[in-house]
Structure 1
Amino acid sequence: MINLAIVVSLGAALAACSSQALPDSSPAPSHARESLARTELNKEWAKFASVYPDAHRPKVDRIRFVALVDWPDTFGRCLTEFGFAATITPDGGVTYSGNVAQQQAFDLAGFECRSMYPVDPESSIPLDGERLSSLYDDYLNRLVPCLEKRGVVVPEPPTRQLFIESYYSGNGWEPYANTSDLPQDQWYKLNKDCPQTPPGF
């Protein structure tokens, strides 16, 4: 049996949505939205084709864009419709257990589900300075005390300005940084008790 983790976490996805300088965070125009979605799917197929070079790309019609926060549940239900019993984990991930012989079929189902229900490109627009400042306040006032109460050693927070400037650098301050060695059940419980992002963010 194999266990496949499809989505690490929503918090990680939000943090990794861009490594570029912060642009205007207003909604993307429709043509830009379509272009971004097409680019992401082309990247997904390129990854698939690198593993399965003889595969033929299926023609898949998009059903709708899905908000990032709703995507794990939507993706999991889509995989289940393809015959793969997926499980939504407490940290917003999707896992599936199956036979190695099913790997290519599973990966193809994943591509088709991403094609039918792609993450809305607007979810990938980097946060502007004002929203990052709000996130900084949430980390300090809610997340850090919650983690410390449960015995997690949180790295020393930077100044607000440094937090904003380094958020998309790949080396930004992350309150969850010292939790990677936790057993899976403890990790899930921690994510439930101390969500990585504030409600509605």
Structure 2
Amino acid sequence: MRREVVEDARFRSDSEPGGLRRDARRNRLGVLRAAREVFRERGLEATVRNVAHRAGVSTATVHRRFSGRDAIVADLAEQVAGEWDERWEALARGFPAEVALERALRLVASETVATRACSPDHRELFPERARELEERVHRGLCRLLADARETGGISAAVGAEDLRLVMISVAAVVAVESDEERAERAAQRVVTHFLRSFRGTG
């Protein structure tokens, strides 16, 4: 029996009223996890076949969940944006405002290193979606900055454009460093430099 027929039989079982079947939902999330790994490694030149292979399913199964690579990218971008929103909320609840901002900037720097193979392609092929994701991340950082300014941990002179400058500088450093470990260290040094200036700005 063909693999996709076996998979279909499995997905038709264990149904939930009013939503995707549990197996189908797990399968969809598995495809998105695989896509994130593959896109990070290969950029958006990766194919549906590459994603299916990493997810351990057939390409036919992927196409039943997504119309194509662009649909995978769209869902993945929305998933990533939602994860960032959850991170901002968790940081704001769990740490003093200044520490929350620092941890957020370091997370964004690490993500810049991890996704650099994909990011240039993403901005070129999906400019509107890339801008939406960047703005969503920026708004989250701005909320944390406002809290840190209010508590006095960060100078009142620091504004939204300073946060953009951090991210631009991180991206520039990452772009010229081919080794991932060195790129991570360099990105974190950039964040450290800016945080020191944020605290010391008059």
TM-score higher than 0.5? no
Q: Which has the higher helix share?
A: 2
Q: Which has the larger radius of gyration?
A: 2
Q: Which has the higher strand share?
A: 1
Could you tell me the TM-score, scaled by structure 1's length?
0.29
Ranked by relative contact order (alpha carbons within 8 Å, sequence separation 6 or more), the top structure is 1
